[in-house]
Structure 1
Amino acid sequence: MIEVLSITFPLFAAIALGYGSVAFGLFSSDDMKVLGRYVLNIALPPLLFNAVAGRDLGEVLHPGYLLVYLSAGVATMLIGYVAVTLSGTGPARRAVAVMGMVVPNSAFVGYPALLLTLPDIAGQVLVLNFLVENVILIPLGLILLDLSRPRPGRTITGVLGGIAKDFFSRPFVIGLMLGLVVSVTGLPYPEPVERFLSLLAGSAGALALVVIGGTLYGLPMRGDRALAGGIAAGKLMLHPLMAAVAVAIYSVAGVVVLPDEFRQAAILSAAIPMFSIYIILAQPYGHDGIASIALLTAVISSFVTLSLVLWLL
């Protein structure tokens, strides 16, 4: 248990530091937004670039891991969708709930957790998680959200086009794509450039956790608490359970037998609380209160659930 706490304590101490820094006026909520943009737009792109550029493409794109992680996400979405539908929840809240159950905060919490537990593959796993989440899981959630609000003249093609345009304009996606180009072509880049990118990438981990804590301060706490609790439970328990089930089924069937470190990475990644822009995505539909309660509940509860997952692994 001491080994587990040596991993979880630094993570949640940094989150608590961020929360306290805003609560006691050292930083404002607006400051946290700026720091969050720094992590996403400045630190994360070189991190993803380095994770891909220095490796052979076949080594980076681990098909077995992608299959397991994607299967866990889709299974969680389906089970969550059915469960929330049977409870009589409306389409917008249903979409908000499903998205909250299935998309972890891989950049701000998942990557620091991987750095502490599986440092040798942390960057590679972040790339793989980002591919599944940003290419498939998040777009599926956005489609559900968009379809929950009928609009004349709207088409699935138009919705997908808007999602694709937004995706390819993100700095971290550009960094990832440039890394893939370097990996495929074998283009060399000077050591000073490599060190500069590594310097920026190294600033992501701790700052991301502080930003998460600061973001939690002052969140709106009005909404369906029962649904929010269900969303948090789905994210922290159902999603990692589905990852473990996917690992077991594919292994028994002989389809995919993941190395231990990638098996642990898949389950650990699924056990991370939901991504922070979840609240922003829910806001236009009037459910930012539910999203805020779910996020706060998940982050606080994950100290226990994440410790349990690490202990079981």
Structure 2
Amino acid sequence: MGDLISVVLPVFLVIGAGYLAVWRGAFSDSGVDGLMNFTQKFAIPCLLFMAIATLDLGQNFDLRLLVSFYTGSTICFFAGLAGARWLFRRPWEDSVAIGFCCLFANTVLLGLPITERAYGAAALGPNFVIVALHAAFCYLLGITAMEIVRGDSGSPARLIRTVGTAMFRNPLMIGVALGFLVNLAGLTMPGVLTEALNLMIRAALPAALFGLGGVLRRYSPEGDAKVIGFVCVLSLIVHPGIGYLMGRVVTDLAPGPLRSTVVTAAMAPGINTYIFANMYGAARRVAASAVLIGTALSVVTVSAWLAILP
């Protein structure tokens, strides 16, 4: 277990450094906002673009991998929604936002660096396949459910337009889409452009992890303890558990894709869960606290999943 902690802990130490820097006033809130804007709108889209553009789709794009991961995501979304509504008696809009917390794992800022530290950069291919569809799948499911319970969408055409606009304004989605375009068209990028993108990419994950720590400093856990605990159980235990069972028993994944499925599913709720909750003004405190507490707890739970995996 000590070796496993040594794999996971450096990632969380970088997050902790960002948290401590903002807490002690060494890094301003405006600096955190600027850093996160840089990583989420520029550096990470560049990372995803290059990863998808150079990915061997024939080798890595495995439907069984996607079924194993997204079956767990979908089940946890509806379990979170149903639990929030009927177990905790939350309004429908809150229930959808809480379900979204159980759905949207931190696949990029946590999933990529932890998989890389545990299994090496060569193991990231299946992760990028999951990430390529993650934002689109989660926002499609979450926004559709929210618009239905709100009853504001009107016609089906308006619902489709609302969902599509929200997804394709997302810089991460743009980076993924452009990466697929280059990959499928067989385009060769100039060496100078590739080097420039690689410079951006090298800054992406360390800066994003540090910024994530600063963002988490803003969200003090308060109230709603049972709901937050419920979200953490679904996110950190149930989702990877379903991924593990699907990969081992149903889809018979090879060890590499199985590891990527489980480790990615085991990540805490991502910052996008708070963005979603804030967009609709629903369950914001639950979303913010679930991100903070789930990230802290995942130091232990991710280490446990790494111990279980082949």
Structure 1 length as normaliser, TM-score? 0.90
Distance 1:74 1:91, change over 3 A: same
Alpha-carbon distance in structure 1 between the residues aligned to 2:275 and 2:189: 38
Alpha-carbon distance in structure 2 between the residues aligned to 1:150 and 1:24: 45
Does the CA contact (< 8 Å) of 1:118 and 1:265 recur in 2?
no
RMSD between aligned residues = 2.0
The alpha carbon displacement at 1:100 in A equals 0.6
Does the CA contact (< 8 Å) of 1:69 and 1:243 recur in 2?
yes
The alpha carbon displacement at 1:164 in A equals 1.2
Does the CA contact (< 8 Å) of 2:104 and 2:270 recur in 1?
yes
Alignment partner, residue 253 of structure 1: none
Q: Which runs of 5+ in 2 are unaligned?
A: none
Alpha-carbon distance in structure 1 between the residues aligned to 2:133 and 2:182: 21
Alpha-carbon distance in structure 2 between the residues aligned to 1:69 and 1:190: 35
Partner amino acid, structure 2, of 1:277: N
The alpha carbon displacement at 1:79 in A equals 2.9
Q: Secondary structure at the match of 1:164?
A: helix
Query: Structure 2 matches for 1:166-181, cutoff 5 A?
Result: 166-181=166-181
Does the CA contact (< 8 Å) of 2:8 and 2:303 recur in 1?
yes
Q: Which runs of 5+ in 1 are unaligned?
A: 251-255
Alpha-carbon distance in structure 2 between the residues aligned to 1:42 and 1:271: 26
Alignment partner, residue 129 of structure 1: 130
Alignment partner, residue 113 of structure 1: 114
Alignment partner, residue 253 of structure 2: 258
Partner amino acid, structure 2, of 1:82: A
Aligned-pair identity (%): 22
Distance 1:13 1:303, change over 3 A: same
Q: Secondary structure at the match of 1:203?
A: helix
Query: Structure 2 matches for 1:268-287, cutoff 5 A?
Result: 268-283=263-278, 284-287=280-283
Q: Secondary structure at the match of 1:277?
A: helix
Alignment partner, residue 212 of structure 1: 212
The alpha carbon displacement at 1:49 in A equals 1.9
Alignment partner, residue 21 of structure 2: 21
Alignment partner, residue 292 of structure 1: 288
Query: Structure 2 matches for 1:1-313, cutoff 5 A?
Result: 1-87=1-87, 88-121=89-122, 123-151=124-152, 154-250=154-250, 256-283=251-278, 284-313=280-309
Partner amino acid, structure 2, of 1:275: G
The alpha carbon displacement at 1:63 in A equals 1.9
Structure 2 length as normaliser, TM-score? 0.91
Alpha-carbon distance in structure 2 between the residues aligned to 1:145 and 1:233: 23
Does the CA contact (< 8 Å) of 1:56 and 1:184 recur in 2?
no
1:238-296 CA deviation, whole Å, 9 max, x = no partner?
A: 1111111211332xxxxx33220110110000110111132232133242112122222
Alpha-carbon distance in structure 1 between the residues aligned to 2:220 and 2:151: 27
Alpha-carbon distance in structure 2 between the residues aligned to 1:97 and 1:7: 30
Does the CA contact (< 8 Å) of 1:223 and 1:287 recur in 2?
no
The alpha carbon displacement at 1:171 in A equals 2.6
Does the CA contact (< 8 Å) of 2:39 and 2:207 recur in 1?
yes
